[in-house]
Each structure stands twice: as structure tokens, then as C-alpha cells.
Structure 1
Amino acid sequence: MTDSANALAYVDAHLDDSLDRLFALMRVPSISTDPAYAEQCLAAAQVLTDELVALGFEARVAPTPGHPMVVAHHDGEGPHVLFYGHYDVQPVDPLELWKRDPFDPVLETRADGSKAIVGRGASDDKGQLRTFIEACRAWKDVEGRLPVRVTILFEGEEESGSESLEPFLHANADELRAEFALICDTSMWDTATPGLTIGLRGMAGGQVTVRGPSRDLHSGIYGGPARNPIQVLTNILADLKDADGHVTLAGFYDNVHPLSDDVQASWNALNFDSKQFLGDIGLSVPAGEKGVGVLEQSWARPTAEINGIWGGYIGEGFKTVIPAEAHAKISFRLVGGQDPDQVWAAFEDHVRSRLPADCSAEFNVRGGSKAISLASDSPPLAATRAALDAEWGKSALLASGGSIPVVNSIRSILGMDSVMVGFALNDDNIHSPNEKYDLNSFHKGIRSWVRILGKLGEMAPAQSAETAAA
């Protein structure tokens, strides 16, 4: 049996120290997508490695063709778990919208008296991975051990495409393989209701370029008779959805299944406020598929979105030009049995079939992942849910979420399923200026992981192994 009471008391008594360690990590500007910050990514990896070594882990900075991984191991008596997080962060642009230096974190007291950690990486993902490290620290400092055998993998390229991740998993599969994985890059339902993610939408995406004339043209001379690639591209993209918000790609909905009555009823019982959900971001009228609720669209329906579009002259002032080419970035969120390769191929066919004479298209696919669903009654998830219920005093919501490609990678390469539990909130401004992480999320997140580790430690290793193999 594992008693977490002493470790929980340790967390409460040392919260300020935990915050100091989080702030130290957040001060390292580990922006993975910008090569100028490569040394800072390495520095963040080294900070985490040194800390894990000091906690008794066997840890190393593992080089990749991109930014390094952090790999660490610690023995324990219970089942073997792989904990995944990422230490890299998004760029901070637009900088002028930040209230303060993004890499000078602060504990901010809000008008209602609640407190939040503000700074880049507070929620995504330094604050989240820190909750797990601090839970391990509490167990080690109080009990001198961990209740489970732990392997840690911290990635440095999650925010820039994870190009090194799958090759690294393949090359180090024997070292990283465990009985199941724990992933913290997820969120709660609200400030008082923890969440367990048991389904993830997949992803397909890339860029399309439409080319027309051989060079940029003067619109006063060629306007009218010359094809305008921006007009061509926008017409094609407008055809991606019909008047009812349905995606028009051939075969797009072939492997999309409706919600079961039980799932639909459980979601209806949440009393989700779609008006507030949209109102919080300055909107009021639901878009998307006609007749499909906002929550179902977010959790269980596929989408087609235009993420960026450009061409011609976009600088200051005005230039009357017909551009030679136009570009757009497109992404599709996938559910059920949708195949990302088939969806992208259907998109290419959609574009090519609508190209007028004298225009051509070029595609650059970014890659994709299939949707994933996890058994809601697995022993690891049941143990995690019991731990969350004990900490939060209410039942954790079993929910679906956005794409987390590492879950598919871990399943396909390492043969393991994942338990996904995190403590972020929808208003944490991840990827945006003034990113924050509620102090309550941080504090109770650490406490939750203390309880989760304790509950997982009560499982027989053979039991969790059978679950992973099922």
C-alpha cells in the first residue's frame, strides 16, 4: 500500500520552493521554432537533467538532429510508467501585447483574489511538467522512494513539429518502453473539475501554392484578362464548406460515426454554455456544421480550417499588383476512422479539379496523425480517476481533446497506451500573449500527481502490463 498523506503535506509546505524552480525554468527562452534560440533549448534541457540527477534519477541530455531530449530513469516497486512532457515553448509575438517581459515570470493577483503564474511556458508545458517533477520530489524527500518505476521523456521540439521525436522513439524503443505512458499536456473542464482525456482528434495539414502569370503584373495593364492567383485560391478555399458548414471533400465523412446515446447524454449533463464559450473570445453566433452543438463540434466532429493565407504585396502602403502566386496553410482535425493521407489527397483533388487554365498548384504536406480513442475502464485510468476524485472532491470528466501526435507515436512505436491528465484551463492563453497558469492548477496539480503515483503504485505490474497488451 502507498500512503500519500506525508507527501501531500510536503507539497503544501514547499509550494514557494516549487514556484521558484518553475520560474527558473520559465526564464530560459527555449523557443524551438527559431534557430536563434537553439542554445537556450539546450540550456533548458540541461536545467531539467541536472535537477533530475539531484533527485536520484539516472538522467541525460540526449542529442537529436534538432533540439535535445531529456531522458531519465528511476526505480520503483510498482508498474513502470513513461512520463512525457515538453520543455520548448512558442514564440512570443506580438511582443507589444504582453503586459511584461514574457520570460520574466510573475505571480499575479487578480481582482477576485485568485493568483496566476504569468509568462511564456506557464501552462504549455513547463508548468504542467513541473507538477510531475515536484510530485516526484515530494515522494522522494518524504519516503525516500517512488511508488512506481518512472521513465521520463522531455521533448524539445513539440512546438515546432516534433521532427526528431519518432526517429528517437524508434532508436531508443527498448529504453523508453514501459507499461503505459502518462501525458500532462491536457486540460481541466473548469477550475474545479479535473479532466481525463480518453479521445483525441487526428490531424492532416499542409500548404498549397497556386501559380498563375510568370511574374507579378501591373493591375492597370493586366487587370481583367490576367488570372489572379489570389482570387483563384480564395474561390477554391471557399468551396471547402457548403452553406450548412459541412466539408465538401469527397469521402470526408465516410468513417465518421455519430456519438452514442450514452456519451451524448453525459455531455448534455455538463450544461455547457456555448454562449459564454464564444462570448469569452468576442463571438456570439456558432459557426461550423448546422444542427451540431458547439461542444460536439469541439470534441467529436472533423473540421477544415484555413490557418493562413497570403500573396501579392502585403507591406505598408499600397501597390497595385496582380501576384504571380498565392499561398494558404490548411489543417483538418480528424475523428473516428478518418485517414490523414486520404483526407489530404482528397484536398489536393479538390484544388486541382477547380484550377482554371493557365494556373497550377503545388502542395507541401506537413504530415498527420489518426484520431485515437482509449479504453475508459483500463486499470491505469481507473486508478488515476480515483486519485483525481480524492483530490478534487468530484468525479473527473472523461473528455475528448485536440490532436496530441505523441500519443499516436507512443502507441504505434512503443506499443503503449497513454493516460492523459493535465491541469490547464481554456483561458490560459497558450500560444498567445500573457500566457498564464492558475496557482490553484499548479498547486493541486502537484498534489494530484502525488495521489496518482500513489494509486498507480498499488497496481500489480502484471495487471498494467496486461492492459497495455490488450
Structure 2
Amino acid sequence: MSALDQVLARIDADLDASLDRLFAMIRIPSISTDPAHKADCRRTAEWLAAELAAIGFDASVRDTPGHPMVVAHDPDGKGKPGPHALFYGHYDVQPVDPLALWHSDPFEPRLEKQPDGETWITGRGASDDKGALLTFVEACRAWKAVNGGLPINVSMLFEGEEESGSPSLRPFLEAHRDELSLDVALVCDTDMWDRETPAITMMLRGLVGEEVVITAASRDLHSGMFGNAARNPIHLLTAILAGLRDADGRVTLPGFYDGVKELAPEIRAQWERLPFDEAAFLADVGLSIPAGEAGRSVLEQVWTRPTCEVNGIVGGYIGEGFKTVIPSKASAKVSFRLVEGQDPETIRAAFRAHVRAMVPADCTVEFHQHGGSPALALPVDSPVLRKTLDALTREWGREAALAGTGGSIPIVGDFKRLLGMDSLLVGFARFDNRIHSPNEKYDLSSFHHGIRSWARILDALSK
């Protein structure tokens, strides 16, 4: 048997022990948003550090103004082939409310056999992120048990505030830049493509958020006495918002698409092979007609094309009954999801210029900034990506998907901007895992194959 085959056999033989460790971790109610569980968060960090130390890592609990970090390094890692990888996860969990909707104690994990033959690991944090985090730790445990060490140099960073906004993370990265600026970050907090198809998330969209407030008259006005003569800021605001897209769904801001690249033919071909039903995707939310840019597939729209969306509008009387008023103010919240090649501040400036150009001289406008981060994409020809893709395909027996995501993961941007590292996002969650909801679960097959997948990835990266 090869070294890898021996590791995979050890993982299979030790699955029950791996489950026992996951159950022990789930039993600690590490709810980061609740001050009553501050001690539980520290207890979880100390539990993790002790487990990592037991398999030969130099592991420590690092204090922050909030919940502690866990940092671990392999003392035997220097000089090994392949990249020095930083594995990231979080040990904190969401609150369990409403408790009455749980089928069992959220902090007393169970195995539940399902009619389709799958087994669920149930409990808060089973999927997000304790189960996912331990897939990597258990893979390292097996490598060290069989071969006395890992095939590449590995460090780990676990935080305890991801579910409460990660307020301590960025200052911690800045303070420990020299220690944590490694070759590549491995992030496990993502999903599979479907129940049988693993995925690498290689594209993350960026984000710009803006709140715009337009003021017309100095006070609300009677619409009979002032109608026509006085400017209505709701009319003005809705005209501005309507002008952000043309009839073909393209965003009209000057320069908005500058730097936006077309999808690589190789990726387009792979996406066309994925089992994705556009009609079902929309039908699931009660729709049937694709919006956005004409001629673009739904996957392109949600993964690789920039967006402009109005997330909320406020103005005038919205209570019960009817009030004939011309409001003094109207406001809207607008967000832009960005793709690689777009600069957040350039987009913000273009949006503000668009608004100001349409506001009459006797009205005023103010803007409130709500975040701004660039998109991130792992190069298609990245050796790390290619080796990981092959390892996942071998483990799951089907071609791993190169996926995008419409959302943004702030930690990945911080790794890039602060530490200069690209991130490889590989996770084994399924869309029905009920994360953040009652009855959270993690499939036993996800946990088992996840451990085996990381063992294969570590081996592949050493080649």
C-alpha cells in the first residue's frame, strides 16, 4: 500500500473515534454572540489547542479583545515539498433559538438514520463549522499516525467570532502578519455542488453598499396644496434607481464593465456539464423569467457577472390607511456585487456621480457608505487548484466542480489584502444542512469523505 492508501485505511478504521471527538466539540455551547457563553468559547478554544498538541502541533490559545484565537504550527514542517498551507476555520456557533423547533437538545449530538440510507449528524455546529473544521484536523491526525508527519507544511488558525462579525480577526491578522503570511489559505466553510459532486469555490464576488438620502422640501407637504409645484423626492429617487439598468439588464453607470472579463471557455464548458436546471432554480422561488443581462446563463448571472440591486426604499407615509402627503425625504439602499477587475471605490464614485447628476439644484443628497471589498478569483491554471481538483475527483468518483458564489466571504479578502495569500475554498456541506436554523445537521458521508478528501489534497499538494 502507498502512504496515502495507508492513511485512507486509517481514516476508515478510526471513523468512530473521529465522531466521538466531533460529538465532544459539539457538546460545548460556544455561542459567540451571547456573553453568557464566553467561558464556553474559551473552553472550545482550549479543547482544540489540546487536540492539536496531542497530535504533535505547537498549538496555543491567543487572547483577543473578544473570544480567543487558536494558532498551531507543525514543528516538523520546514523543508517539506509543496506550499506552506494555513488552514482556517471557526469554532463558534449561532444561537439555537427558537429552541422549541429543535427535535432534540442542540448540544447533545446524535446520529439519525434517514430513509434514503444516509446518516445525519445532528446538533448546533455539526456543519457550520465544527464538522467541517474537524475534517481537516482528522486528516492530519491520520497522516501523523501512519507516517509520523504530514506531507506538506501545515499551520492552522481557528477563530471564535465568525458568527458575530469577526471583530477581532483583522487586527489579529495585522498584528501577526509575519507569522501567518504563508503560501496558500485553505478554507472549509463552503458547500458541495450537489449531494454527490464536490466543488472548489474559485470565485467570490466583491461588494459595494450605498445608502442614498434625497431631501426636497423642508417639511412634508399637503399633496393637494403643493402637488405639481413641489418636487416629490420619491419620484426623483425612483427615476434615479430605474436609470441604473437598461432594457437589456445591463448596468448603465459609465465604466461599470471596465476590466470585467468574459468567462474562460474551459470553465464555461465545465459549467455546461454540471447538472443545473435554470428553470427549476427560478421556479423554486416562484419565478420563471430570467432577469439580468440578456443572453447570459443563470450561472453566469449569479457567479461571474456584476450586479446592481435595490435592497430597500423608504419614503412618505407607509402606515395603515391613507395620507395624502408629499414627503420631505426619500432614501434607498443599493448594493453592487463586483467581479474580478472592478474597483469598489471606482464603482462607488460612479454611482454617486449618477445620482448627483439627476438631483435638481434646490434638492440635496447625502450618501452613507456600507462596506466595500473587491472580488477574488483563483487563477484557472493555479497548480494548487488543479491538484486539489484531481484529488477531489478521485475521492468522490465524479468530476469536481469549479464553482463560483454570488456572495462574499470577508476572511478570504482579508487573507489576500493583509497576508498576500490566495485561498482555496473546499467544503463538504450540503444545501439542506439547516445551518443557522433549528435541527442543523452534517451528513456522515460528508464528514467521512471530507476527512479522506483532505488527506488526498495534502498528498497531492506535496507532489
TM-score of Structure 1 vs Structure 2, range by shorter chain: 0.7 to 0.9
- Structure 1: 5+ residue stretches without partners: 460-470
- Give the AA of the match of 2:198: P
Q: Deviations over 1:281-323 (max 9, x none)?
A: 45443332222111111221112234455678989x7796978
Code of the residue aligned with 1:45 in structure 2: it is: A
Letter in 2 for 1:25: M
Match of 2:352 in 1: 348
User: Structure 1 residues 202 and 50 mapped into 2: Cα distance closer, same or farther (>3 Å)?
Assistant: same
Q: In the alignment, is the contact (CA less than 8 A) between 2:207 and 2:371 conserved in 1?
A: no
Q: 1:75 to 1:260 in 2, by over 3 A?
A: same
Q: Residues 290-309 of structure 1: matches in 2 within 5 Å?
A: 290-307=294-311
Q: Counterparts of 1:133 and 1:249 in 2: how far apart (Å)?
A: 47
Q: Measure the CA separation in 2 of the matches of 1:213 and 1:36.
A: 49
Alignment of 1:267-286 (within 5 A): 267-286=271-290
CA contact (8 A) 2:3 2:147 kept: no
Cα separation, partners in 2 of 1:115 and 1:327, compared to 1, 3 Å: farther
Q: Name the SS for the 2:208 alignment partner.
A: strand
Partner of 1:463: none
In structure 1, which of residues 397, 408, 416 is the aligned counterpart of residue 413 of structure 2?
408
Q: Is the 8 A contact 1:2 1:455 kept in 2?
A: no
For 1:3, the equivalent position in structure 2 comes to 3
- Matched residue, 1:50: 50
Q: In 2, distance between residues paired with 1:352 and 1:94?
A: 45
Q: State how far apart, in whole Å, the 2-side matches of 1:450 and 1:132 are.
A: 8
CA contact (8 A) 1:300 1:400 kept: yes
SS in 2 for 1:375: coil
The residue correspondences of 1:21-170 to structure 2 (distance < 5 A) are 21-32=21-32, 38-77=38-77, 78=80, 79=82, 80-90=84-94, 103-170=107-174
Indicate the RMSD between aligned Cα atoms, in angstroms: 3.7
User: Are the aligned partners of 1:88 and 1:157 in contact in 2 as well (CA < 8 Å)?
Assistant: yes
Residue 438 in 1 paired to residue 446 in 2?
Answer: no
Letter in 1 for 2:271: W
Instruction: Name the counterpart of 1:467.
Output: none
Residues 301 and 19 from structure 1, CA distance in 2 versus in 1: closer, same or farther, beyond 3 angstroms? same
* Residue 193 (structure 1) aligned with residue 197 (structure 2): yes
Residue in structure 2 matching 1:448, options 453, 456, 462: 453
* Residue deviations 1:84-131 (CA, integer Å, cap 9, x gap): 122334455676766566555444433423233344433332221121
Is 1:425 aligned to residue 442 of structure 2? no
Which shows bigger deviation, 196-205 or 440-449? 196-205
Residues 252, 283 of structure 1: CA spacing in aligned structure 2 closer, same or farther, 3 A cutoff? same
- Please report the TM-score for the alignment, with normalisation by the length of structure 2: 0.83
Q: Distance in 1 between matches of 2:27 and 2:318?
A: 34
Mapped partners of 2:183, 2:14: distance in 1: 31
Which residue of the other structure, out of 253, 261, 267, is the alignment partner of 2:265? Answer: 261
Which range moved further: 90-99 or 102-111? 90-99
Deviations 1:412-447 (A, max 9, x none): 333333332211233434455544332211110011
Q: Which residue of 2 aligns with 1:468?
A: none
CA contact (8 A) 1:306 1:331 kept: yes
Cα deviation 1:14-70 (Å, max 9, x = unaligned): 333333433443344545456665554444333322322233222222233444322
Shift of the 444–318 alpha-carbon distance from structure 1 to 2, 3 Å rule, reads farther
Partner SS, residue 419 of structure 1? strand
Q: Cα distance 1:416–1:394, how it changes in 2: closer, same or farther (>3 A)? A: same
Residue 8 and residue 218 in structure 1: after superposition, are their counterparts in 2 closer, same or farther (change >3 A)? Answer: farther
Shift of 1:153: 0.9
State the alpha-carbon separation in 2 of the partners of residues 105 and 266 from structure 1.
38
SS state at 1:304 partner: strand
CA contact (8 A) 1:124 1:430 kept: yes
Shifted more, 276-285 versus 249-258: the winner is 276-285
2: distance between equivalents of 1:234 and 1:139?
Answer: 60
1:393 is aligned to 397
- Structure 2 CA distance, aligned partners of 1:133 and 1:164? 23
d(CA) in 2 for partners of 1:452, 1:113: 27
For residues 199 and 31 of structure 1, what CA distance do their matches in structure 2 show?
Answer: 30
Matching residue of 1:462:
none
Query: Which letter maps to 2:157?
Result: L
**How far apart, CA to CA, are the structure 1 residues paired with 2:99 and 2:244?**
34
Aligned-pair CA distance for 1:268: 1.6
> In the TM superposition, what is the alpha-carbon distance from 1:71 to its structure 2 partner?
0.9
The equivalent residue for 1:180 is 184
Q: CA deviation at 1:237?
A: 4.0
Larger radius of gyration: 2
Q: Which residue of 1 aligns with 2:19?
A: 19
**Aligned letter for 1:443?**
H
- Share of identical aligned residues, percent? 57
Change (3 A) 1:104 1:347: farther
Contact 2:206 2:372 in 1 (8 A): no
In the TM superposition, 1:317-356 aligns within 5 A as 328-355=332-359
Counterpart amino acid of residue 47 in structure 1 = W
Q: CA deviation at 1:81?
A: 1.6
In structure 2, relative to structure 1, the CA distance for the partners of 1:226 and 1:120 (3 Å cut) is farther
Report what 2:251 is aligned to: 247
Q: Work out the number of aligned pairs and report it.
A: 455
- In 2, the alpha carbon distance for the partners of 1:37 and 1:233 equals 45
Preserved CA contact (<8 Å) 2:152 2:458: yes
CA spacing shift, 1:319–1:214, aligned 2, 3 Å: farther
Structure 2: unaligned runs, 5 residues or longer = none
Cα distance in 1 for residues equivalent to 2:268 and 2:142: 40
